[in-house]
Every structure is written in structure tokens, then in C-alpha cells.
């Protein structure tokens, strides 16, 4: 989606250091149950754009965590949320982040 929107510089945050290590170290064994998904992620990351992958605690990405949980229960034809539209269930998290950034 980021490429379709024309983004060329992307910062990607995850709360799973294990996932980041598996993706970045290319040490996924042939019998790993998520091998195909990990390969797809690596293909996306190493396309013609600049993506940086960072670890951050889940508390720092509360809104993203909320949206991921909502995505798991959304119907297949659900709308993709883009900025500046922020779902009301996530709005308080975004405002909290903004206040923290100003401090």
C-alpha cells in the first residue's frame, strides 16, 4: 500500500524483535511454518525503495496495534484506513502520542 501511495522512504516499526531478526537475518529454515510469508516480506522490503525496520515496545505503537487487531476481525472487503482519517477507537492513542512528542 505504501508503494501504491508513492512513498519512497518508509520507517516500519514492530513490537516483535524475533520477527525482525527472522526477516532481516535470512535464517529461516525450509521447514519454518511461516517461510513463505517471511519470503514475501523480504521481497517487499528489498524492492526499489528505502525501508528501515525498527523495534519498539507495543506501548509506543498502541494505535497500530489497535488497527491490527481490528483488521483481524474486519470483513475482506473492508476499507483501508489512510491518514488523515483516524478511527475513533484509536483517536485517544494518537492524541496521547502527539502530547508525548511535544514534551
pLDDT tens per residue across span 41-89: 888 888 889 999 999 888 788 878 887 887 888 887 776 666 566 777 7
Helix (H, G, I), strand (E, B) or coil at 55: strand
Whole-model pTM: value is 0.66
Do 50 and 11 meet the contact criterion of CB atoms below 8 Å apart? no
Measured in whole angstroms, how far is the alpha carbon of residue 25 from the centre of its chain? 18
Amino acid at each position: 500500500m505504501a508503494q501504491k501511495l508513492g512513498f519512497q522512504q518508509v520507517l516500519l516499526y514492530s513490537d516483535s524483535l524475533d520477527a525482525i531478526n527472522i526477516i532481516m537475518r535470512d535464517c529461516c529454515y525450509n521447514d519454518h511454518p511461516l517461510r513463505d510469508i517471511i519470503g514475501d516480506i523480504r521481497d517487499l522490503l528489498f524492492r526499489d525503495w528505502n525501508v528501515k525496520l525498527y523495534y519498539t515496545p507495543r506501548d509506543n505503537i498502541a494505535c497500530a496495534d489497535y488497527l491490527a487487531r481490528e483488521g483481524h476481525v474486519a470483513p475482506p472487503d473492508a476499507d483501508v484506513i489512510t491518514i488523515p482519517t483516524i478511527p475513533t477507537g484509536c483517536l485517544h492513542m494518537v492524541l496521547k502520542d502527539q502530547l508525548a512528542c511535544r514534551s
